[in-house]
Amino acid sequence: MPNSLLRKAFPAIALSAAAMLIASTAFADKSNDTLRAALQIEIANLDTYYDSAGSVSLLCRHIWDSLTYIDPETSELVPLLAESYSFPDETTMELVLRKGVTFHDGSAFDADDVIYTLNWITNSDNGAKTIADKKWIKSVEKVDSHTVRIQMQAPNAMAARFLTSFPIYPTDIYAVNGAGAMNITPIGTGPYKVASMETGSAYTLERNDAYFADGPKGTASIKTLMVRIIPDPSTQIAEILSGGLDWIYKVPADQASEMSGYDGLVVRGEATSRLFYMVMDAAGRNGEDSPYKNKLVRQAISHAIDRQGMVDAFVGGGAAVQNAFCFSKDFG
């Protein structure tokens, strides 16, 4: 359970990966409508297709949109850049796109951008990586300016869910600068646009006043987000105590407990899924005499692990033992 520290001038809500995106104006300094936040993981590339760091994912949700979206309040799968979608047959998905959407540079969003993005990430020569599976996409076709048809390799019940992980970029964004394009011209359709950045270390996001208000993300409540990369948790805490920051997260359990008694700070924890597991060589790949080929040995090791003891020792009891590869807040 990652902990968050919030200066008390900003009333607390349950913070998650989407919290900055949907935060109320109560979070921002009323004098300048600005939230100053810190992330720990350095950003090599402001492009989730080429940098899978958690910090990149957090920022990109503010700058870019996907065709579909999981509402963080309801866990419901809903259209985002798509207005609607349907499945004419078991291997075809058709999406009607939202009209009137523009990228941060003023260019119009349409079917060509969807086709360009999906073709780019599914072409193995481009080296793009995605969190969700993309091999299910066979081809992407343009029906009209605001309708696209995705042909699937086989029936896939998770198709709409997988599309939540694919931010849509403007056509030809990679033409000049290749994989580094978003470090030079980070253009999206999201509720925030990049006003300035020091690549890898600091990013200032400004509210996108042209963002579509009727979408599931809603318009941004806070005018400016100032995000710095500060890898050291102790430095982050020093900054928030001195008034240099308003919000940090992933605070170590022992420090979060200590900070909970400080005036002017609010400590909140939010449940997230982090699974750690040990794989035993049941197939004997490391040798035919591997003891792990014996089911009873594997079961004995499993029963011998003190899972609750590990939770208590490493995270101070701030977690729950998971006995399956699923989590109560997972979609589905």
The region that residue 8 occupies, defined by phi over 0 for left and psi between -120 and 50 for alpha, beta otherwise, is alpha
Q: What pLDDT was estimated at residue 2? A: 61
Confidence of residue 185 (pLDDT cuts 50, 70, 90): very high
* pLDDT at site 99: 98
State the pLDDT at residue 331: 53
Cα distances (angstroms) measured from residue 312 to each of 92, 233, 269, 308, 317: 48, 21, 16, 6, 4
**Domains parsed from the chain with CATH numbers:** 3-65+179-269 (3.40.190.10), 68-176 (3.90.76.10), 273-332 (no CATH)
Mean pLDDT of 72-96: 96
pLDDT surpasses 90 at 253: no
pLDDT greater than 80 at residue 260: no
Task: Specify the higher pLDDT residue, 241 or 86.
Answer: 86
Percent of the chain past pLDDT 90, that is, above it, reads 58
**pTM to 2 decimals?**
0.80
Q: State mean pLDDT over 163-183.
A: 95
Structural contact between residues 219 and 12, judged by C-beta atoms closer than 8 angstroms:
no
Q: What is the pLDDT of residues 14-66, one digit of tens each?
A: 233 322 222 334 455 566 899 999 998 889 999 999 998 888 888 999 999 99
**74: part of which helix (H) or strand (E)?**
none
DSSP string for residues in 296-326: HHHHHHHHH--HHHHHHHHHTT-S----SS-
Would the pLDDT of 165 be above 90?
Answer: yes
- Report the chain's mean pLDDT, rounded to a whole number: 86
Digit-coded pLDDT (tens) for 96-123: 999 999 999 999 999 999 999 999 999 9
Pairing of strands 77-79, 68-70: antiparallel
- Return the H-helix or E-strand segment holding 83: strand 82-89
Q: Which of 31-35, 63-67, 251-255, 299-303 has the highest mean pLDDT?
A: 63-67
Given this model, what pLDDT does residue 327 score? 64
> Is-contact 137 118, C-beta < 8 A?
yes
Residue 332 has pLDDT above 70, yes or no: no
Cβ burial, residue 57 (10 Å; 0-12/13-18/19+): middle
What b/e string do you get for 104-139 counting C-beta neighbours within 10 Å, with b at 16 or more? beeeebbbebbbbbbebbbeeeeebebeeebebbee
Write out the two tokens for 62. Answer: 């503010």
